[in-house]
Amino acid sequence: MKFLGLMVAVIAAWLSLSSATAIANTEIKREVDAVIDDVISWRRDFHEHAELSNREFRTAKVIAEHLRDLGMEVTTGVAKTGVVGLLKGGLPGPVVALRADMDGLPVVERTGLPYASIQRSEYEGREVGVMHACGHDTHMAILMGAAEILAGMRDRLPGTVKFIFQPAEEGAPKGEEGGAKLMIAEGVLKNPDVDAVMGLHISQGGEVGTASYRSLGFMASAQRFDVQIQGKQTHGARPWAGVDPIVVGAQIINSLQTIVSRQIDITQHPAVVTVGSFTAGVRNNIVPETATLSGTIRTFDAGVRSSIHKKIRAIAEQTATGMGAVATVEIDPGVPVTFNDPLLTRQMVPTLERIYGEQSVFESPRVTGAEDFSFYQEQVPGFFFFIGGRPPELSAAQAIPNHSPFFYVDEAAFAPAVQAMTQLAIDYLHAGAP
């Protein structure tokens, strides 16, 4: 009899949740239609006024004003420029956090869009263009839309929603702290304590109107490495009188390519070692004294990650020594694997399927991109997913990657994404409500 009573209670709770969800689906769709023009306008504004990591001053002001207008408790200046909005529901229940990232990239935009960024700034001592080349402008606008909808039904929410607008997802400038790690250190998951956190990312990897996810390890861990090479300066006409750090650096780069191609079992452990910057010299006929190269490491396994770190140090230091130079290697702690909690994932995927359709929600292969959303997932259960932003007229082979100066997304992706973020919060709160 106890078992029968338990089953009846479970079924009753499920029916109650299903009814509440069905009503919310219909209502939310109407609210999305009402707010979508604003979402598009916000996104275009953010895109045109892109700002670099830890420098998102204007962006933060726009977001904070919007959340205050919705009657939320708003905290600014979190992790330098972050904004946190707290929406307390009218009924008791759990706390769910929804997160969007805020920063652009040091990229000169070449999309030709009427709202293309022409912003300029300084990055690590160099003047650069600034562009939302990774879609963070869309993430912010989508979450602002979800915030407006949820604020309009706060009296019926069984719990609390915390809106996290996070700076420096792309990484704080060298020598600075920032991003999710600093937000956590400054208490973003406390007061009240967050029970679960959710976030999304847009890309042209999927066609508009689709969503993808992966349980457990989803996106790679990532670390930045820097190699400083000390040579001996000389006249370019007499290279034998010095030690050329450019040639040393070139040899190091070539040898680094053998780590993944010849020293890692990539059938078991996907990994990437990429050099993205090589800086040396100021004049054509001077062999410079120093050269610097920087790159990124992507792995899914802690043991492989440690092994790659050791190999990078050994290759750089020993190659330099063999050529009469000195190499110093720095590898930052980086970000861990983006790890979707399996129980939370099973709970939330049906919500995506209701919005996008079961045939349009896919389980993703592992992604070698990285996300500092992973720091939140180390503290509380988290669910991170991708939404498609590729226009239907483009094939998968024509997809423009994030971080490209030509990156853009189809704005038709915004409406289902706003609905998804809103509905995920509602479904989680209803499932966990007492």
Question: Catalytic site residues?
Answer: 103, 169
**Which amino acid is present at 96?**
V
Cα–Cα dist 134/138, whole Å: 9
Contact (Cβ atoms closer than 8 angstroms) between residue 115 and residue 135: no
**Which amino acid is present at 5?**
G
Closest CA to 316 of 195, 196, 226, 207: 226
**Which amino acid is present at 152?**
G
In a 3-state reduction of DSSP, which class is residue 321?
helix
Contacts of 71 (CB under 8 A, 6+ apart): 151, 154
In a 3-state reduction of DSSP, which class is residue 97?
strand
Cα–Cα dist 403/373, whole Å: 18
Cα–Cα dist 279/292, whole Å: 5
In what side-by-side order are the strands of the sheet with 271-280? Answer: 271-280, 290-299, 221-230, 326-331
